[in-house]
Structure formats: structure tokens, C-alpha cells
Copies of this chain bind each other. A is one copy, B any other.
Amino acid sequence: MSQVFSNDAVARAVEEIKSGPSSRRHADILAPHIHKVESPPKQTLFQEIKHSFNETFFSDDPFAKFQGQTKSRKFILGVQSVFPIFEWGQGYNLQKFKGDFIAGLTIASLCIPQDIAYAKLANLKPEYGLYTSFVAPLVYAFMGSSRDIAIGPVAVVSLLLGTLLTDEISDYTDPDYLRLAFTATFFAGITQMALGFLRLGFLIDFLSHAAIVGFMGGAAVTIALQQLKGLLGVKDFTKKTDIVSVMRSVWSAVHHGWNWETIVIGLAFLAFLLTTKYIAKKNKKLFWVSAISPMICVILSTLFVFLTRADKKGVAIVKHIKKGVNPSSVSEIILSGKYLSAGIRIGVVSGMVALTEAVAIGRTFAAMKDYSLDGNREMVALGTMNLIGSLTSCYVATGSFSRSAVNYMSGCKTAVSNIVMSIVLLLTLLLITPLFKYTPNAVLASIIIAAVMSLIDIEAVILLWKIDKFDFLACMGAFFGVIFKSVEIGLLIAVIISFAKILLQVTRPRTAVLGKLPGTTVYRNILQYPKAAQIPGMLIIRVDSAIYFSNSNYIKDRILKWLTDEEIYRTASEFPSIQYLIVDMSPVTDIDTSGIHAFDDLLKSLKKRDVQLLLANPGPIVTEKLEASMLTKTIGEDKIFLTVGDAVETFGPKGTNL
């Protein structure tokens, strides 16, 4: 370890130590400090509990606006907080509607082909995708608080739902499969609502950004691989989703299972889609080219197949989409029997993942336009939406990354764009679904591949690598978990790695040795500031975390280890031995009883070594607890200072602070 002492300070200290016993100093050097460490104003137990309860569950202070209002005004505010549409609806005008109308039409043209395709990922018939895009956005428009999110089925949740459902019922023509899908959607809605009502929205923060990037990327690769079935026209395809099984399935079909007409159609349209995506990326103003290209693909390919009757040559087509609006699915929800627990489990998992995606999107756009998003209210909105959806033949819907971006870029102003989209979907269901009969599956596969490409965020991964290696690891863990095993395993890895990071953070906090920056009274980490000089006869350590049971023993041992190491070094270098240990408590925001006991133990050990403990800048809570535990007396009130500088001035070698 590099040790830097300022030379004259050492000389002075040696002088000082030679000239008399250290206890003398105490009396005559004690400088008159202007400020002492103060305890905060006392709070009653009730105030204390109320405060931490509020910070935990109501940190956004949702009831502030109700205060001091009349009863009728309170009622209106209450209705508005459940249905924000009545709040922003008041200022709605034609100008805004123009933006919303265009955005709504654009996302509708994008979502119709995606809906049909995504429903297949969940192993459901295509109409269920369209149903979901009709009801869910309508409900959200009334209750949601994001202005930019576009609601509907999304690729990752569809795949996750499909995988989890297939684990329970492998035959998707079984009517129970569809019932279980609705049941899972029902419980996904319940889960989301419950999290919002109980104000437990912060739970989704436990899935780290890095883990989500990896999970999404892995899911995108898995989804793209699944599309090889449609793109290559393979008939006998594996039901597993891992890359090994899928590639084996593809290769084993190479001689007799691939259909060249299908491949030509698929690749041609994929090339077209990727080209439009590239154009849109290069020139942001042309984003609409990539937004409407899926619809163009569907129209062109459907016409092509209809005219050439390519379906007779083995090109798989959609065949049949039921016409008409959503039938009721109230009686389909499973509320008892053997599938109930599976329904709850699948619902909770897919509901949480859907929530993570929606909240991430909502936050991104809210930050871009600087409006605030109430996470808990958002969850209630999404939950209600899925609950109502499950009763009207929809499956789990959430905010879609790609469509929300298109919505934003098309100039949407409010959630009315979702209503416009919903109406377009209604008309589609009522009038034109039969026209999709000849749409080739290969085109749907191309649309999915093009869509999920944007979920693979290479730039984010590079940034992770640059900024935080542990985050990169979490990302890769989730990514490889998904592609080599399954979406559930990937998700599990993501959650476990996220938790491991939290646990590591609380068990192994950092400590730093401080030194004095020459010419100042500022004390900084000597590793960061090599110019910072240590004070002879003193060791200054900063503890960089609240001291809790999970780390109190480690911190105590670490401090003693710093002391031992420094003593060995200083003895070897003939520097004066350490008489004072200053612990800078600035970052120590809290201490619990285990922490107090660790300090007690530390004091005992220091006493044996003839080293005195000085504390610098304990915060309000720490000061209070040190006093409550009588540790202030044990340490000595005159040994607790406002700053490290004060402590050094009082007990350190003369003239250090000059």
C-alpha cells in the first residue's frame, strides 16, 4: 500500500511525542470548536414509524393534493386519480387529437400483423392477439397515466406465457389450454392490481436493468429462432425453446422438411422489413416507413399467395381467423381444480414480467417529456386492464417497446392514440379478418424477427461492460440462461444475480483510509487522491455504509485489519506508532443493535492495543443511537467531532491543520 506522509508533519509529530506524554495534549490543545455534533430534535415513536412507513410506501405523497379540499372537490380528485382521463381530458383539444389520430393509425397498422404473429408465440389462435389489442388499450386509456405507451400483446410475454402454459398442458388444441391462458391472464391482472393497491410497486425494482437487458436479448434470440419454423416451412419442429434443440430440429429437417417457396417469400419480406428498419434508423423522420412496412408485407404477401395459390405448394398460411368482436370468457376462468395453482403461478410470473416491461417503457418516455408517472397507480391500471381482458378473451397485454416508440415519434399527445388504435382494431375484427386467410406464416415469422431485433440492445451491453462488470455478468447470465435453457430459467438467473448483488452490497461494504489534502482541511481516500497525506500517530478510516447486522462484524474486523497492516508498515518505516483511530462516520446513515455491539467489541480490542477511538461526523440517527446505547459515554463525548479536521486538530500533532 502506498503511504504518503508530509515530511514536516512527521517531524513535528516525532517532536511532539518525544516532548511529553500524549495525555497532556488533551488539556491544552483542545481548540474551541464552533460547532459540536448535535442530536436531531427528538421524535416520538409514532412519528418515527409514521415517517418510515410513509417513505417506504407513500414516498410519492399521493394524498397531498386532497388536503384542505371540500368534499365534492375530494370526490372529483378521487375519480380523477383512478381515471386520469378525466383530468387530462379537460384540456383536450383538436390540435392534440390530430397528433393522437395519426399516431393511433400508425400503431394500429403496426400492431395488426404483430398481434396475429404474437398470438402464435403463445400457441393461441390469431384472433386472440387482435382481441387483446382491442380491449386492453381501451381500458388503459381511461386509467393509465402514461401518455406515450402503446398497449397490446408483446413478444416476450407471449413467448413466456406460451412456454409456461405448454409446461402444464402440452397439447394446445386442448380447450383447457385456452382456459388456462385466460386464468393466467386473470391472475396476472390480480397480481398487478394487488401490487399497486398494496403500494408494493418497488418490488419490481429488484429486477436490475442489467438483468432485464440480458433477459430481453435472450428472449429476442429465442423468439427469432422459433421463427425458423415458419420461415423455413419446417413441419416437425421441437417444442423446446433452447438453441440446441431448435438448431437440431432445423438441421434434421434440412433434406425433406424445408420448403423453398416458403423460404423465398419469408426471406424476401424479411429483407424488405430490415431495409425499412435501417432507413428509419438512419433518418428519424422516415420512421413511418418501418412502422407501416409490416402491414405492406401482409397485404402484398396475402395477395401474392391468393393469386398464385402458393398454399397448394406447401406454403403454410393462416387459414382461418374468426370474424367478430371478443366473445365473453367469464365462464372460462378456472377457479378450482388441478389447474388453479398452475394458473396462479403462471399469472404471477407473467404479470410481473409484463409489469417490468410496462413500467420501464413508461418511465423512459415520462423522463423524455418530464412528466411524472405514479408507479403504483400505473400498476392498478395495468392490472384492471388484464383483469377485464381475461373476461373478454384477451391474454396478457402490456406496453410494447417498439410500438410505444412509434407512438411517440408519430407525435402522440395523450392516451387517445390507444383509443384510436382500439377502434381500428374493432373495425378490423368486424370487417376484414377473413382477408387474412391467405397470409403466409412465413411473413408473420419475418415480421416477428424484424420486431424482436430491436430488443437486442448491443449498445446497452457495451455500456454495461464499460461501467460495471458485475452488471455485465448479470446480463450475460440472464441472456445465456434464456437461450440455452428456457425463458423461466433465464428469468430465475436474472432474479438470483440481482439479489446476490444486493446481498453483496450489504455484507461487504467498502472502507477507505483517508489522508489530508495538502493546503486544505479536506480528508479524502488516499487511493483516489495520492497527494492526500496520512497524519502521524493517527489512522483515519471512513466506513462507507450503514452498519447493520449483515455487515457489522465485517466492518469491525476490517477496521482492525487496516490498523494491524498500518502498524506493521509504520513500525517498519520508523513512523510514530498509531495512538488514535479516527472513524469518519459521514456515510454511516444508520446503525442497528448489532452495529452498536460491534463498536463495543471494537472499543475492547482497541483498548488492548492502547489505541483511542475518535469519531467524526456521525449523522442524526447514529448520534441518537450512540446516545441511547450509552456508547457516547463509553467513547467519551469529547472524542466525537463534527469533522475529521476537528479531531485531527484536537488530538493530532501540533500545527497539522496550518
Chain A residues in contact with chain B, CB under 8 A?
A: 34-35, 38-41, 45, 48-49, 52, 55-56, 59-61, 202, 205-210, 363, 367-368, 370, 372, 375, 460, 463-464, 466-471, 498, 501-510, 512, 517-520, 522, 524-525, 527-531, 544-546, 548-554, 557-558, 560-561, 586-587, 589-590, 592-594, 596-597, 600-601, 604-605, 608-609, 617, 619-620, 623, 625, 628-629, 642-643
> What residue of chain B has the Cβ atom nearest to residue A510's Cβ?
B589
- With the chains together, A414 CA to B576 CA distance in Å? 34
**Contacting pair A467 B597 (CB below 8 A):** no
A56 near B517 with CB under 8 A, answer no
Nearest Cβ on chain B to A651's Cβ, whole angstroms: 19
Chain B residues within 8 Å of A363, by CB: 553, 601
**Residues of B with C-beta under 8 A to A375:** 553
A selection of 18 A-B contacts at a CB cut-off of 8 Å is: A38-B529, A45-B469, A202-B508, A206-B549, A209-B594, A210-B592, A210-B594, A363-B553, A363-B601, A367-B605, A368-B604, A463-B629, A468-B625, A471-B592, A502-B506, A502-B550, A509-B589, A587-B589
CA distance A592 to B628 in the complex (A): 36
Please determine whether B507 and A202 come into contact, CB atoms closer than 8 angstroms. Answer: yes
Q: How far is the CA of A207 from the CA of B594 in the complex (A)?
A: 10
Contact (Cβ within 8 A) B608 A370: yes
Is the pair A620, B59 in contact by a Cβ cutoff of 8 Å?
A: no
> What is the CA–CA distance of A592 and B504 in the complex, to the nearest angstrom?
14
Task: Verify B370–A620 contact, CB threshold 8 A.
Answer: no
Query: In the docked arrangement, what's the CA distance between A177 and B61, Å?
Result: 57
Interchain CB contact under 8 A, B550 and A587: no
Task: Give every chain B residue within 8 A of A34 (Cβ-Cβ).
Answer: 517-520
- List chain B residues, Cβ under 8 A from A510: 589-590
**With the chains together, A370 CA to B606 CA distance in Å?**
9
Q: Is the CB of B55 within 8 A of A508?
A: yes
Q: How far is the CA of A39 from the CA of B619 in the complex (A)?
A: 27
Contact between chains at B505 and A35 (CB < 8 Å): no
Task: Please name all residues of chain B whose beta carbon is closer than 8 Å to the beta carbon of A205 when the two chains form the complex.
Answer: 507, 549-554
What B residues does A628 contact at CB under 8 A?
466-467
B502 touches A503 (CB 8 A): yes
CB nearest neighbor in B for A201: B553
Q: Are B604 and A56 in contact (CB under 8 A)?
A: no
Q: Can you add 10 more A-B contacts, CB < 8 Å, to A40-B525, A502-B550? A: A35-B522, A49-B469, A209-B549, A363-B601, A367-B605, A372-B557, A471-B593, A510-B589, A524-B617, A544-B587
